[in-house]
């Protein structure tokens, strides 16, 4: 099973403490894929701004860096919960707990 974290949108202040385009909210998604099955989750996290921090210029941000921010903001327990949830979606698709067979009298 492949798990992919994506960043769908960044909300930023045009100016904050002398820096431009300072990100304060990250909108993310998580996709699990296995064969033809797909599990999906999405959400957003707010970032704590620190006027003492050194900001990376917006143009220099990388997906990996921002995904790291998402993981840090969610916390390890929540990251694992989301990854388990999308994996469970695939398990349910593979082995549905409820089915609707055709009527026997056809």
User: Does the structure show a pLDDT above 80 at 19?
Assistant: yes
Query: Which neighbouring-strand residues pair with 56?
Result: none
Q: What is the dihedral of CA 17, 21, 27, 33, to 10 degrees?
A: -130
pLDDT tens digits, 34-46: 999 999 999 999 9
Read off the pTM: 0.89
pLDDT at 45: 98
Q: How much is the mean pLDDT over the chain?
A: 95
% of the chain with per-residue pLDDT over 70: 100
- Edge-first strand order for the sheet with 37-46 is 2-16, 19-34, 37-46
> CB-based contacts of 42: which residues, under 8 Å, 6+ apart?
8, 27, 28, 29, 30
């Amino acid at each position: 099973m492949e798990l992919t974290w994506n960043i769908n949108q960044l909300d930023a202040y045009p100016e904050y403490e002398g820096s431009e385009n300072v990100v304060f909210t990250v909108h993310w998604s998580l996709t699990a894929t296995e064969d033809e099955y797909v599990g999906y989750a999405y959400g957003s996290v707010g970032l704590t701004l620190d006027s003492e921090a050194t900001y990376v210029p917006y143009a220099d941000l990388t997906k990996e860096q921002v995904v790291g921010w998402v993981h840090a903001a969610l916390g390890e327990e929540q990251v694992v919960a989301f990854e388990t949830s999308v994996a469970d979606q695939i398990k349910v698709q593979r082995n549905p707990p409820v089915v609707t067979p055709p009527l026997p009298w056809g």
